[in-house]
Amino acid sequence: MIAAAPARAQHMPPPPKLSTAQPERPTVSTHAGTVTAGWFELESGVELDHGTQPEHNTLGVFAAKLGLAENMQLSLLANVVGPSDAAGGFGDVTMALKIRLLDGDPVLGDFAVLPAIKFPTGSDARGSGTNTTDGTLTLISSRDVFGLDMDANVAYTYRGGSGVHAPRDGWLYAVSVAGDLPHGMGWTAEIFGLPGTSGAQGAPPTMALLGGPTFTLREWLVFDCGGILPFMGQQPRAFYAGLTYNMGRLWGEREKEVVR
């Protein structure tokens, strides 16, 4: 979720060395904005889960985002899983391409599609992966509602394999809102959920509330933290924290400095 004003809403070119960070974390949903073409951004975070069973899980998430064009962003995501009842280790890797199709549409607002593919680089035996290759398509709508940033996502995932390690398909929905506070602070809140699934690894519907503060430490560096509180299904309670760091331009001419 955007903690600072995104580049698409500033109506001015970025500074000569660093562009405004555009966090997609900490929310489950993502926004329709894309990293400026030629610019590179990193996100990292940690989540500590306490499930309905005694075990505790630790999840480290890392995402690299590269602006390919004015309306296109390439992302590479990886994670490290540390369940207490298994060995854990390096998890599955996901590659995604966000394409913004509309800006300021009266119905959809800023609208983007996000196709992604997840590779089975983790290990089901070690508790760090599902041993399935997954294809996901996410539809994203972002808009301003009464001065707040609102993002709505609907995603469908199809998984390869026999359905023994994970359900063959599944849906996810998420709606988040965020606002600004004084002194570079902000807040974000989200409701997200998954409908019930069937098969050997089927599960009942899940719904949870996510929320917490955000801190814009620099224009190019944003910190977030907060918690997840479930109120339906098997989603664990969790605490999260993370950083988004815009590392600067990799190619293209630098913009002339803007007097702010």
User: What is the pLDDT confidence band of residue 85, given thresholds at 50, 70 and 90?
Assistant: low
Is residue 39 within 8 Å of residue 246, measured between CB atoms? yes
Domain assignment present for 255: no
CATH number for the domain harbouring residue 170: 2.40.230.20
Domain assignment present for 127: yes
Span 85-110, average pLDDT:
89
Span 217-238, average pLDDT:
93
* Residues 171, 196: Cα–Cα separation, whole Å: 9
Whether the per-residue pLDDT at 167 is higher than 90: the answer is no
The position carrying tokens 């993502």 is 30
Domain assignment present for 259: no
Question: Which residue type is seen at 136?
Answer: T
Domain assignment present for 53: yes
pTM, two decimal places: 0.85
Domain assignment present for 256: no
What integer best gives the mean pLDDT of the chain? 84
Domain assignment present for 165: yes
Give the pLDDT of residue 199: 58
> Structurally, how many domains does the chain consist of?
1
Distances in whole angstroms, Cα of residue 52 to Cα of each of 138, 232, 234 = 28, 11, 7
Is residue 4 within 8 Å of residue 220, measured between CB atoms? no
Domain assignment present for 157: yes
Span 137-156, average pLDDT:
97
Give the pLDDT of residue 13: 40
Give the pLDDT of residue 122: 77
Domain assignment present for 254: no
* Residues 6, 142: Cα–Cα separation, whole Å: 12
The position carrying tokens 């306490």 is 50
Domain range for 46 is: 7-249
